[in-house]
Amino acid sequence: MIIAIILLSLALIFCAALAVLLKRDVRMLNHILQKIEKSDTNMRATTETFDKDISELCNSVNDILDKQKQIVIASEKSNREFRQAITNISHDLRTPLTSAIGYVQMLKSGNTTDVQKLEYLGIIETRLKSLSNLMNELFEYTQIIEGKITQNVEKINICNVLRDTISAYYNDFITKNFNVEINIPDAPVYVLCDANSLKRISQNLIQNVLVHGVEYFNMTVDIKNDGVCVIFKNKVLNISELDTDRLFDRFYTADLSRNGSSTGLGLAIAKELIFNIGGAINAYTENDILNICVILKRTT
């Protein structure tokens, strides 16, 4: 009987001690969470007991803290990129507008010849067209990401669309002294796509070549088993400054001088249009050549 009482007493003492430790851990955990809530700290939830449930609770809390930290980091990055994007857009819109206003003021001064007036009017028209293109890019991108662009996925001959698109830029490539190679099969190659989207995608990629590329351009249609890859290749100066992982991000531009002719949305628009029709796009570099691959589903 005495032994039983002693054992029971020891059990009660053990339970009481364990309860005290558990209560202390709960207070400690609560203290840590309050401190984390009020300040930016890397504190972790810890326990000094061997209780499985408390240990699992600490692990769960730490997992939540890790995820929260990642959310904060991602949010801060997004805010920085947004602020930079606003700065870039403001610069891109202000540049042609400021230039146009300057020439308008010169026209109003009355100290210009008829020849100068025609020259200035031509420059003003060019600047305003550039401004209009920038605004159209912004509007188009907004429409796409909000799902307001209707895309009709159907069977189309990709070769015809690519030929029509590239032919429209023939003079641009000649003017810029590009060596152009086009490898499009004579036989029809059918893909599931929206014809207007494919044309817009091709236009944006070609315009990107004309703005940022030099000397060389190659477009090749590579036929796979169940897909078609259209590869756009062009030579790029200072290619080491190009971040292919960010190439399709909105407002990304590797042109640090920013010439005011692009918001950097052309490739982002192409990516969104491709994804919306179930395709894919990726980029990689080989020496001084940038390769952009548009992958679409093949059909018969």
**pLDDT above 90 covers what percent of the chain?**
17
pLDDT class for 260, splitting at 50, 70, 90?
very low
Give the residue with greater pLDDT, 124 vs 93: 124
pTM of the model: 0.66
Maximum pairwise Cα distance, the chain: 122
Closest listed residue to residue 280, CA positions, set 201, 162, 217, 209: 201
Distance CA 67, CA 296 (A): 35
Tens-digit pLDDT profile for residues 286-300? 888 899 999 999 888
Task: Please state the rounded mean pLDDT for residues 195-206.
Answer: 90
Do residues 219 and 232 make contact, with C-beta atoms less than 8 angstroms apart?
yes
Q: Is 244 helix (H, G, I), strand (E, B) or coil?
A: coil
The predicted-structure confidence for 25-64, as pLDDT tens digits, reads as follows 777 777 777 777 677 667 777 766 667 777 787 788 788 8
pLDDT tens digits along 164-183 = 999 999 888 999 999 999 99
Return contacts of 58-63, CB within 8 angstroms, 24+ apart. 58/29, 61/29, 61/33
Per DSSP bridges, beta strands 179-183 and 213-223 are parallel
Residue that is written with structure tokens 């540049």 in the block: 95
Q: Which domains does the chain have, with CATH numbers?
A: 74-145 (1.10.287.130), 154-297 (3.30.565.10)
- Residues 166, 203: contact at Cβ < 8 Å? no
Q: Give residues with Cβ within 8 angstroms of 117, minimum separation 6.
A: 107
Average pLDDT on 149-163 reads 89
- Kindly report, residue by residue over 104-142, the tens digit of the pLDDT: 888 888 788 888 888 888 888 888 887 887 787 778 878
The pLDDT score that the predictor gives to residue 257 is 42
- Phi, psi at 112, each rounded to 5°: -125, 145
